[in-house]
Copies of this chain bind each other. A is one copy, B any other.
Amino acid sequence: MAIMEISVIPLGTCSTSFHGFVSEMQKALAATGLPYALTDMGTIVEGDLDALMSVARAVHEVPFLMGEKRVYTAIKIDDRRDKKVHLGQKIQSVEGI
Q: Which residues of A contact B (CB under 8 A)?
A: 3, 5, 7, 9, 11-19, 22-23, 26, 37-42, 44, 49-50, 53, 56-57, 60, 64, 69-82, 87-91, 93-95
Contact = CB atoms under 8 A, between A and B. Distances in A.
Q: How many copies does the complex hold?
A: 4
Contact of A22 (B38, B40, B70, B90): B90
Chain A binding site: helix, strand, loop or mixed by DSSP? Answer: mixed
8 contacts: A5-B42, A9-B11, A16-B80, A22-B90, A38-B91, A49-B60, A70-B78, A73-B77
Nearest to A78: B72
A90 B19 contact: yes
Contact of A78 (B13, B17, B19, B41): B41
